[in-house]
């Protein structure tokens, strides 16, 4: 079903006829006149009427829509046409037909480097976009004139959602990691191997007598500080000291002896 079918008018109807048809149908199916609206039937009809008028009531949008209808190879179903205009309406840039707004989930590790991803818009519209290093959660990147529609080149707006990492927490350009050590390791000192977010391995020294909450840091192992930049923040390691709660009686006696000699 096309927007013309929804408003019950011909494709040659002038703008006054479009407006008149919209007013009649909107008045007839307005949800306030159908209460209770069992199953939301009239609400859905009213929404389709509103969607149709949003396109046909605007001469520029109607022009692009009519062109889409005449492209059987690329828009061979009414559903594809609806998706095209639905994408344009929902993208927050209503004045420019063909623009598309999407969300993309990325891992925290993937933000360390630039990479290329294929994105499919609609059924047959596949484009390649370069995702720069340094992406942050909620960041929006604007790719100009990359979305191909019939007679329209739209822009792509990608909002990135960075999936939290189970081991590393982002803090501005730094990463924070909790390292668990035993109380014996804290008292006597030890050496530990750390795996960074990008897979690099570092050995760090825990000095004897280390207290809970002590912070160690590894430079240039945090997040990329700017888009496509080369500088990175720090990896901050917070030491968490585990206290045993299942000591044997003999272990308790040894600790009590040590406590008396300090």
Give domain status of residue 119, yes or no.
no
In-domain check, residue 66:
no
**Within a domain: residue 79?**
no
**CATH number of residue 215's parent domain:** 2.60.260.20
Q: What does residue 199 show for φ and ψ, rounded to 5 degrees?
A: 100, -10
- CA-CA distances (angstroms) from residue 14 to 10, 59, 152, 225? 9, 10, 23, 55
CA atoms of 113 and 132, how far apart (whole Å): 7
In a domain, 30, yes or no: no
72: pLDDT strictly greater than 60: no
Give the burial class of 34: count Cβ atoms within 10 A of its Cβ; 0-12 exposed, 13-18 middle, 19 or more buried: middle
Instruction: Work out the pLDDT band at 148, boundaries 50, 70, 90.
Output: confident
Give the span between the Cα atoms of 100 and 77, in whole angstroms: 20
Asked, for residue 162, whether it belongs to a domain, the answer is: no
Average pLDDT in the chain: 83
| pTM exceeds 0.75 for this model | no
The mean pLDDT of 182-197, rounded to a whole number, is 94
**Is the pLDDT confidence value at 46 over 90?**
no
Q: According to the model, what pLDDT value does residue 71 have?
A: 54
How far is it, in rounded angstroms, from Cα 192 to Cα 166? 20
- The pLDDT value recorded for residue 91 is 46
**Which of 53-57, 97-101, 207-211: highest mean pLDDT?**
207-211
Report the pLDDT averaged over residues 164-186: 92
Q: What is the number of structural domains in the chain? A: 1
Assigned domain for 199 exists: yes
d(CA 21, CA 34): 19
Of 230, 113, 222, 243, the residue nearest 177 (C-alpha): 222
Q: Tell me, yes or no, whether 86 lies in a domain.
A: no
pLDDT band at 246 (very low <50, low <70, confident <90, very high): confident
pLDDT in tens, 192-226: 999 999 999 999 999 999 999 999 999 999 999 88
Residue 231 domain boundaries: 169-244
Q: Is residue 200 part of a domain?
A: yes
């Amino acid at each position: 079903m096309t927007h013309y079918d929804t408003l019950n008018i011909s494709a040659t109807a002038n703008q006054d006829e479009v407006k008149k048809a919209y007013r009649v149908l909107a008045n007839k199916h307005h949800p306030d006149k159908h209460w209770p609206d069992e199953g939301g039937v009239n609400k859905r009809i009213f929404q389709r009427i509103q969607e149709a008028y949003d396109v046909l009531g605007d001469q520029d949008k109607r022009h692009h829509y009519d062109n889409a209808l005449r492209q059987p190879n690329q828009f061979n179903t009414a559903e594809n046409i609806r998706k095209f205009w639905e994408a344009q309406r929902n993208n927050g840039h209503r004045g420019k037909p063909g623009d598309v707004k999407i969300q993309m989930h990325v891992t925290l590790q993937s933000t360390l480097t630039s990479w290329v991803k294929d994105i499919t818009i609609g059924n047959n519209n596949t484009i390649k976009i370069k995702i720069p290093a340094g992406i942050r959660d909620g960041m929006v990147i604007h790719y100009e004139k990359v979305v191909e529609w019939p007679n329209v080149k739209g822009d792509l707006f990608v909002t990135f959602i960075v999936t939290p990492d189970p081991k590393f927490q982002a803090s501005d350009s730094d990463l924070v990691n909790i390292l668990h050590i035993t109380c014996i390791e804290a008292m006597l000192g030890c050496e530990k191997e750390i795996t960074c977010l990008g897979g690099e391995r570092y050995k760090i020294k825990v000095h004897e007598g280390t207290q809970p909450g002590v912070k160690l840091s590894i430079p240039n192992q945090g997040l990329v500080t700017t888009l496509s930049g080369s500088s990175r923040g720090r990896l901050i390691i917070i030491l968490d000291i585990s206290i045993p709660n299942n000591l044997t009686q003999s272990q308790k006696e040894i600790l009590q002896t040590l406590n008396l000699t300090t």
